[in-house]
Structure 1
């Protein structure tokens, strides 16, 4: 059998609060198969983004196990997690997280350079062209619209050819037109590179594009259905 892209076994997450530990996620059991798309939905505060952070090793599970591409993330230190994300994952956030003093081309190329890619700038230019920004590669983030900045973020996430692509509300700060364009690009990049895509969204239309939808409620999985079952 093929190793799942992501596996969570009895995963839980607690964060320190003023009155002590606060339970965020409880007893999460989930397998995400290779080259599939998974939508994480649910009301605000249900734990969607926290679950995505566990999958990416950006938060460490308080208990249980999180495995990505056969690698146990709960056993890795911060340096090992950073290297794993660099080599195997792409992450897109709602707020872009571009470096303001770097051009679009430099923002995309820098992670590739850090990974030792000799073709960093050539590949960055190719990815910017794929998101329709070849004419904007020498512009700084402040010179770009929100939609353009998110396109740069998509190009940066996809440039290393990640096997897993994580997106946290990628259309949350965009208007409907730009949001729809970003969705098309996101799924297009996923198809082009054959990646597993996991995304957090409040959009029912976006969730319906996924092969599978998991609904969270109060930090637990409340529903889990495939697109075929939903239809």
Structure 2
């Protein structure tokens, strides 16, 4: 695939559980192009979130290669991985993962400050306005609804203008109206910044908005084939 942003080859993932080693991913090979939107679907426990974490360097592949923006993530230590994510990736979790002792503005500004942007708070304020939360900038996560917290999380992920956005069930904890609003924001941010978007979802509506859909079952890509969202 030309302009491949993410390329996985023969990736496996094994993690130690209470009963010993558990094989999570089995020989995953997958390529994602620049600016593409890819949906990862499948039943609970199929390995979707684990695969997303491997793409982001948040889980280390047991075997195989994970090439992101021309860099081999499996060859990086934790410090290099953290810097790589800071400079190139935005990650949105189902559980929001906001810092409870920071305001919305501070939550969004923090990754910008860590990246050395002197205008971190100005950019954070502009991003909060983009997601419709300018009036909530000084509020703490506990003072906001779930939908508002997820919008802050989206603003935080997109403010550094990442090359890649990874979203793990971004609408999973939200009701229908808030989920639809977050979907619109997520794809709007993708369109605005030209990022490659990979998302895990159980929502058929969200999957249908993706350029391509990959279904996982028991840690494997179904029949080594990729399903179109329209199917």
State the match for 1:203 in structure 2: 203
Q: Summarize the alignment of residues 134-153 of structure 1 with structure 2, pairs less than 5 Å apart.
A: 134-153=134-153
State the match for 1:215 in structure 2: 215
Corresponding position: 1:31 with 2:28 = no
- 1:190–1:196 contact (8 Å) kept in structure 2: yes
- 1:3–1:69 contact (8 Å) kept in structure 2: no
State the match for 1:10 in structure 2: 10
How much does 1:17 deviate?
1.7
State the match for 1:158 in structure 2: 158
Q: 2-side partners of 1:67 and 1:91: how far apart?
A: 17
State the match for 1:83 in structure 2: 83
**SS at 1:132's partner residue?**
coil
How much does 1:18 deviate?
2.4
State the match for 1:55 in structure 2: 55
How much does 1:113 deviate?
0.4
**SS at 2:187's partner residue?**
helix
- 1:3–1:70 contact (8 Å) kept in structure 2: no
After superposition, the CA RMSD in angstroms is: 1.0
Corresponding position: 1:225 with 2:227 = yes
How much does 1:21 deviate?
1.1
Structure 2 residue ranges without an equivalent (≥5): none
Cα deviations by residue, 1:166-204 (Å, 9 ceiling, x for unpaired): 000000000000000000000000000000000000001
What is the number of equivalent residue pairs in this alignment?
229
**SS at 2:45's partner residue?**
coil
**SS at 1:156's partner residue?**
helix
Q: 2-side partners of 1:109 and 1:156: how far apart?
A: 7
Cα deviations by residue, 1:51-86 (Å, 9 ceiling, x for unpaired): 000000000000000011111000000000000000
Return the TM-score normalized by structure 2.
0.97
Cα deviations by residue, 1:95-140 (Å, 9 ceiling, x for unpaired): 0000111100000001110111001001000100000001110111
Q: Summarize the alignment of residues 76-155 of structure 1 with structure 2, pairs less than 5 Å apart.
A: 76-155=76-155
Return the TM-score normalized by structure 1.
0.97
**SS at 2:198's partner residue?**
strand
Q: 1-side partners of 2:188 and 2:17: how far apart?
A: 40
State the match for 2:74 in structure 1: 74
